[in-house]
Amino acid sequence: MARRGPLAGVRRCALMACGLLLVGAAAGCSREAQSTLHASGDGARRIEGLWWLMFWISMAIFAEVMVLLGWALWRRRRAGARVRGGDALGMVTVLGVVAPLVILVVVYGLGLRDLDALAAPPQKASVTVDVMGHQWWWEIHYPDRAGAVTANEMHIPVGESVLVRLRMADVQHSFWVPNLMPKTDLIAGKLNKTWLRTDRAGSYRAQCAEYCGQQHAFMALLVVAEPRASFDAWLARTAQPATTTLTAAQARGKAVFEQSSCASCHTVRGTSAVGTVGPDLTTIGSRWSLGAGAAPNDAGHLAGWVVNSQTIKPGNAMPPQPVSAQDLPALLSYLQTLK
Amino acid sequence: MSVSTEPAKLDQLEQEWGERPSLHSWFSTVDHKRIGRRYMVTAGIFFIIAGLDAMIMRTQLARPNATVLSPEEYDQLFTMHGTAMIFLFSTPMFFGFGNFLVPLMIGARDMAFPRLNAFGYWVFAFAGIVMFSSQLVGKAPDGGWFGYVPLTDKPYSSGINLDVYSLGLLFLGVSTTIGAINFIVTALKMRAPGMSLNRVPLFVWAIVATSFMVIFALPALNVANAMLFLDRRFGAHFFDPAHGGNTLLWQHLFWIFGHPDVYIIVMPALGIVSAVLPAFCRRGVVAYPLLVLSIVTISIISFGVWVHHMFATGLPQLSYSFFSAASTLITIPSGIQIFAWLATMLRGRIVVRTPFLFLVGFIVTFVLGGFTGVMFAITAFDQQVTDSYFVVAHFHYVLFGGAVFPMLAGIYFWLPKITGKMYAERLSRWAFWLIFLGFNTTFFPMHISGLLGMPRRIYSYPGDLGWDVWNLISTIGAYILAAGLLLVLIGVIHAVRRGAPAEDDPWGGDTLEWGTASPPPPYNFAVVPPVHGLHPMWDERTTTALATGKVLEGHQAMTTSELDGQVEGTIEMPEESLLPLAAALAILVVVLGLLWSWYWMAGVGALFVFGTVARWLWPPERSPEEAGVA
Amino acid sequence: MPTDQQVRKTGGLLFWFAVLGGALSWAVHLFVAWGVDETTCGGGHTDVAGIPLRGVVAAGVVLPALVTAAALLVAWRGWRRASAAKRSGDDPRMERTGMLLLVGLGADALFLAIILAGGAAVLVFAPCQR
Amino acid sequence: MTAVVEEATEPRALASEMPAGRTTGWWGMVMFVTTEATVFAALLGSYFYIRFQSGQWPPPGIEDPKLTKVVIMTALLLPSSVPVMWAERGIRKGQRWRLRAGLTITLVLGLGFLAMQAWEYSEDLKKHTLTTDAYSSLFYTITGFHGFHVAVGLLMVGWLLAASLRGSFGYRRHERVRLTAIYWHFVDLVWVAIFLSLYLSPRL
């Protein structure tokens, strides 16, 4: 490692940089790869530009240091290399103070400009979303549309700015959508605001970025950016209570749901279940996952979750449910009708 | 080297300063060399335990959705890994280096307060035992090393885990503060005659600057931990917004300590680099005043950068920018140091040995860590990647690269002086390459998984996010790194047991510790050497004085003036005593009493503390003439 | 003529002002500019006892900057005279004084840069803009 | 004045050494006092941090702390630095009786302060306790921590008194008296800061 020519250093860095890009693009195309290097939101794209600028400046200075180091090590092999006196005040001042000062002031200035741009969206926010952080899931409200309550999923119209108001109900969390916007923490007793805006439709995975206890790892949410028309349709569906016509089995499932302990913790608008401890389940059928990203939303995992969610997401607040063998399929079929 | 003309006087000194190797003297020693060695061994053991914590975590994270660890176990492991590495390994290890080397480098016979030094070690050892034993019973702290409230406050962390955290750190704070005071007073008052401030070795500058940072940083942590304990145990409301408290108060208080603390960890290591480099470049480090400038300015600015840990908490952007400015411009002193070392190599005749290899490894990793550090100083970019694996990669590059590499260089460099035995060169070369390769394989991929949006402190992750390959590489790297560190351990144990006896000055170093025997006699210097320049051992006036000068007899040490090292007089050094151990045990009783809510026991312990300290400082019986009565 | 004792005392004061002046005024800058900004915005006000917040913060930048510039000048003057004296006499104290004044010089320059960088932010951001 | 500045930047003046004679014990105590002062600075900093961000201060339901008792306490504690200094100057001249007298007076004044504080606490605790709200938590922690420091100071003075009765101090050997004096003056200064911030400033 010690005696590499300067050229090898630069080649290795270029190789590494391409590796980075390749990986960013390749992984998963149905859902956008969760990555800060694959930015499609205004905020994240600006920071991505800043990152590549700082990356290349760093690689240049790293090459400079490697050249100096390599030269010093290479020089020692020459016969008669003798100790030169002097204090090299000039070299240390120029390389160690003047050059870094110039680079730092430029980078600091760009940083100020980008930070200023992050403060407010380009045009006034047309949609407001209230997010309440819980220990280990996200409660989502759309104040403009009465009754529009969901969990771990947030839809936003493409091309429009969305104001996101952040509160928390227990401990500190952090709202981070890597592809769209740098993170903002949810602080006790404080209302924090951030905004999202993207021109590219797609679903972007987001995750809590402040250690908040055992299941901090599985406190994800999906931000779905879609054209205005489908956004309005989704919002209407979400705001609407569960009124789909039920088959006999599904009706029995509904009865099981209302009499058992489910109703004491969960709300399904349009039924007698009004518990507020757990998430609102009115549109559980159409959600992207169970347990804020802990398991995919299909019949098998739903059954496993209802019977004993501690096996999938240990430590979460939902105790195992004693649902009898014949009631379970009815309950599942009912839950899947809640679109 | 220091064979004086009067052997009789040497035997007299040996008899007065020496401690018969017995169990009693093991517990009652006040010799800074024995205490320094003990600090390093204990910190080394804690490093191994915290390192094993990291290995288990890396095994859990090797594959997605792994079940090696439950979330609760993982949380305790990552908290103990962070807390132990920062509090129980790095600062004590460098206090060990400082304890052993500062008196030798400044030509003193011991630290200014030898018994206080022993007391500091015992308190550190007991605090470490208390914190690690909580891990054995599964009650280790699990709130992260910076333990943000409200998660670490009562309703959300009801176990005793966080009481272990706050009381353990309060207990440890006693030892760190005492060590810092001891270093400052030793460096100010006990330098060899002639050693004015511009002739003080850079390692001593680094240790004294670190001590001043400890003096001004630890109080913020102590206040924060005291408030947390009062909140948790007695229902105070410092951090409870419902009753007028403020959760950001914890973050401010913690990070006012937190960031100076990471410089408290790195600064002694930078001092070690400046102490080891001259021996392998056959010349002093260039631009000595600029290096002193960077040590002093880094120490001061480190107190004005703490809010860069809180850039995502929604404070006014103008407040952020003051700290972003200081965090960005603190790079310049680091830049001065890096280019000064490179200039020293360029202007010197390099001799490649293992310590020098670790210095090269240090420069490569610390420079990379420095770049990502500057990136974090820019608020906008920090908001995107803070609390992700990118920050995990950054601080391992600057903490492992910046502190552990120089520490390993220091261990190999001073092993002959500390133990009197030489290490095996071939084995240590293998150790270096394994560590360098393992380190980069472990932590470089974390930059990438961080940029791919992987948050830190997650016990597991789903498989479809593109993080798997990077985490697997990191785990493989961790095993290589562990192998390298194991080779270091084997090399040191082999050297101590069966190594070749080392000469007094195997490297031709320039600082005064190479003027003593290996290992140094109990009294260090028979003749307190006059200093005439920055490199005493390369200055024949000092070396001849060491050999032929006048012996300072008795259990005496010389004190000199603060700025110019003019001789002021001599002071009587205290004998060995068991009171430091007794006082440390008394405080342990108080801490355990508070931890288990046996408040009467804590009360009794407090009485014992007063009793032992009163006895410790009790002045000797003096006749009126001797004391001087009008 | 000022007595020798008076000169020695002022010399000591100026010496430490040159070495530590930058650090102290930067600490005051941080305490005033950041402290006032965060607590005032946190409390929801936009002025401090009638004075607009931006004015107070700007004062928290300009005044410490001036004090640091003064310390820088004293350090520069002292360093030049000390290094001149060092070359001529052999008083070992000159070396120590020269070195410490050089450290003071560098430190004051660095702190001035930090205060000015903070000042630039005052121009870019509204005081309570989040 | 410019003449002095002109002279003072003479290299010879700039290089003046600080007056010699500070012992290792003196520096040790000064450093200890510095770190304790930083603890109180952090406590008072937290007090002002929370105070400036909360609306009404002290919060509704708790009226401003009454000044009568506190003024007496200040009148007890601040003057108690005088007998300590008097005692220290005395022992410097070898007068043991002056040391013992001075220390005894300091002890009495200090105990008076603690008694008054206990009395004040007994009344305050009827209105609000540590667990009422952040203001009370801060109030009791800061004043309690200072009271603890006064108590430790009194233990040190008592210990000095015992050692001097046993006859260990004279004009040659009295460093521990000087160090205790430094600590005691520090405890007074902290009380001035607490008095101004906790008791006086809410009224301004």
Beta bridge partners of B572: B556
- Angle at A311 (CA atoms; ends A35, B467), nearest 5 degrees: 20
Residues of chain C numbered 74-113 and touching chain A (CB < 8 Å)? 113
* CATH number for the domain that contains residue D157: 1.20.120.80
- For the record, the structure tokens of A25 come out as 């693009």
Neighbours of chain B (3+ CB pairs under 8 A): A, C, D
State mean pLDDT over C1-28.
86
A127-239 and A248-337, same CATH topology: yes
DSSP annotation of A320: P
* Position C85 confidence tier, pLDDT thresholds 50, 70, 90: confident
Residues of chain B numbered 236-255 and touching chain A (CB < 8 Å)? 241-242, 246-248
pLDDT at C3 over 80: no
User: In a mutagenesis test of the B interface, which of A101, A166, A185 is the best target, namely the one with the most B β-carbons within 10 Å?
Assistant: A185
- For the record, the structure tokens of B313 come out as 């908490």
DSSP annotation of B85: I
Distance, CA of B585 to CA of B28 (rounded, Å):
13
- Give domain limits for chain A: 6-75+89-119, 127-239, 248-337
Helices (H), ranges, B146-287: 161-189, 202-234, 247-281
Which amino acid is located at B155 in the chain? P
B314, B338, B368: residue with CB nearest A187: B314
- For the record, the structure tokens of B580 come out as 């430091």
| Cβ distance of B564 and C34 shorter than 8 Å | no
Phi-psi region of B108 (alpha: psi -120 to 50; beta: other; left: phi over 0): beta
Chain-centre distance for alpha carbon A164: 14
Residue D194's H or E segment, with its range, is helix D175-194
Distance, CA of A263 to CA of B208 (rounded, Å):
64
For residue D88, give Cα distances in angstroms to D99, D105, D179: 6, 13, 10
Which amino acid is located at A56 in the chain? W
Contact assessment for residue C129 and residue C99, using Cβ atoms and an 8 Å cutoff: no
* In chain A, % of residues over pLDDT 90: 54
Distance, CA of D93 to CA of A83 (rounded, Å):
60
Pairing relationship of beta strands A127-134 and A162-168 according to DSSP bridges? parallel
Side-chain half-sphere exposure of D101, counting CA atoms within 13 A = 9
| Cβ distance of C82 and D7 shorter than 8 Å | no
| Cβ distance of A214 and B71 shorter than 8 Å | yes
| Cβ distance of D7 and C84 shorter than 8 Å | no
Contact assessment for residue D53 and residue C43, using Cβ atoms and an 8 Å cutoff: yes
- Hunting for tokens 């107190």 — which residue is that? B303
Distance from CA of B201 to the nearest CA of D (A): 21
Distance, CA of B335 to CA of B288 (rounded, Å):
14
Single out the residue of A162, A169, A170, A117 nearest to residue A144, CA to CA.
A162
What is A6-75+89-119's CATH number? 1.10.287
Q: Is C54 near chain D, with CB under 8 Å?
A: no
| Cβ distance of D22 and B112 shorter than 8 Å | no
| Cβ distance of D163 and B618 shorter than 8 Å | yes
Neighbours of chain D (3+ CB pairs under 8 A): B, C
Helix or strand or coil: residue D79? Answer: helix
Helices (H), ranges, B514-598: 540-548, 579-595
- For the record, the structure tokens of D197 come out as 């911030």
Domains identified in chain B and CATH numbers: 7-577 (1.20.210.10)
Single out the residue of B169, B156, B244, C44 nearest to residue D138, CA to CA.
B244
Per-residue 3-state assignment (H helix, E strand, C coil) for D144-166: HHHHHHHHHHHHHHHHHHHHHHC
Contacts of C2 in chain D (CB under 8 A): 3-4, 7
Q: Is C38 near chain A, with CB under 8 Å?
A: no
Helix or strand or coil: residue A166? Answer: strand
Residues of chain B numbered 504-543 and touching chain A (CB < 8 Å)? none
Helix, strand, coil % (nearest 5) of chain D?
80, 0, 20
Q: Is B216 near chain D, with CB under 8 Å?
A: yes
- Hunting for tokens 């940072």 — which residue is that? B213
DSSP annotation of B514: G
Pairing relationship of beta strands A173-177 and A181-186 according to DSSP bridges? antiparallel
State mean pLDDT over D173-180.
89
C113, C120, C130: residue with CB nearest A112: C120
Contact assessment for residue B210 and residue B264, using Cβ atoms and an 8 Å cutoff: yes
Contacts of C121 in chain A (CB under 8 A): 112
Contact assessment for residue D202 and residue D58, using Cβ atoms and an 8 Å cutoff: yes
Single out the residue of B232, B112, B227, B80 nearest to residue B180, CA to CA.
B112
- Tell me the backbone φ, ψ of residue D37, rounded to 5 degrees: -60, -35
User: In a mutagenesis test of the A interface, which of C86, C102, C124 is the best target, namely the one with the most A β-carbons within 10 Å?
Assistant: C124
Chain-centre distance for alpha carbon D56: 30
Q: How many CB atoms lie within 10 A of CB D53?
A: 20
Please report the beta strands in B412-522, taking only residues with DSSP state E, as ranges in sequence order: none
| Cβ distance of C42 and D48 shorter than 8 Å | no
Distance from CA of C101 to the nearest CA of A (A): 16
Distance from CA of A258 to the nearest CA of C (A): 45
Q: Is B298 near chain A, with CB under 8 Å?
A: no
Which amino acid is located at B225 in the chain? N
Contacts of D59 in chain B (CB under 8 A): 244
> A229 exposed, middle or buried (CB, 10 Å; 0-12, 13-18, 19+)?
exposed
- Hunting for tokens 């947390």 — which residue is that? B228
Query: Is-above-0.95 flag for pTM?
Result: no
Contact assessment for residue A88 and residue B343, using Cβ atoms and an 8 Å cutoff: yes
**What is the model's pLDDT at position A70?**
92
What is A127-239's CATH number? 2.60.40.420
Q: How many CB atoms lie within 10 A of CB B296?
A: 23
Contact assessment for residue B503 and residue B416, using Cβ atoms and an 8 Å cutoff: yes
pLDDT less than 70: residues of chain B: 1-5
ipTM surpasses 0.90: yes
pLDDT less than 50: residues of chain A: 1-13, 15, 18-19, 21-29
Phi-psi region of B121 (alpha: psi -120 to 50; beta: other; left: phi over 0): alpha
> A7 exposed, middle or buried (CB, 10 Å; 0-12, 13-18, 19+)?
exposed
What does the pLDDT look like over B181-221, one tens digit per residue? 999 999 999 999 999 998 999 999 999 999 999 999 999 99
C113, C124, C130: residue with CB nearest A112: C124
Contact assessment for residue A192 and residue A166, using Cβ atoms and an 8 Å cutoff: yes
Distance, CA of A3 to CA of A69 (rounded, Å):
9
> B497 exposed, middle or buried (CB, 10 Å; 0-12, 13-18, 19+)?
exposed
User: In a mutagenesis test of the C interface, which of B191, B253, B318, B562 is the best target, namely the one with the most C β-carbons within 10 Å?
Assistant: B318
> B597 exposed, middle or buried (CB, 10 Å; 0-12, 13-18, 19+)?
exposed
Helix or strand or coil: residue A32? Answer: strand
| Cβ distance of D35 and B181 shorter than 8 Å | yes
Contact assessment for residue B582 and residue B610, using Cβ atoms and an 8 Å cutoff: no
| Cβ distance of C39 and D48 shorter than 8 Å | yes
Task: Write b or e for each residue in A255-294: b if 16 or more Cβ atoms lie within 10 A of its Cβ, otherwise e.
Answer: ebbeebebbebbbbbebebeeeebbbbbbbbebbbbbbbb
Contact assessment for residue B203 and residue B105, using Cβ atoms and an 8 Å cutoff: yes
Contact assessment for residue D154 and residue B614, using Cβ atoms and an 8 Å cutoff: no
Contact assessment for residue B551 and residue B10, using Cβ atoms and an 8 Å cutoff: yes
DSSP annotation of A267: B
For residue A96, give Cα distances in angstroms to A36, A74, B34, B406, B449: 31, 22, 40, 21, 31
What does the pLDDT look like over D77-120, one tens digit per residue? 999 999 999 999 888 888 888 999 999 999 999 999 999 999 99
Chain-centre distance for alpha carbon D80: 10
Q: How many CB atoms lie within 10 A of CB C66?
A: 12
- For the record, the structure tokens of B588 come out as 């342990």
Nearest CA in chain A to C130: A119
Beta bridge partners of B556: B572
Helix or strand or coil: residue B460? Answer: coil
Distance, CA of A234 to CA of A229 (rounded, Å):
9
Residue D157 lies in a domain: yes
Distance, CA of B469 to CA of A267 (rounded, Å):
41
Contact assessment for residue B448 and residue B390, using Cβ atoms and an 8 Å cutoff: no
What is A248-337's CATH number? 2.60.40.420
Distance, CA of B303 to CA of B309 (rounded, Å):
13
Residue A208's H or E segment, with its range, is strand A202-208
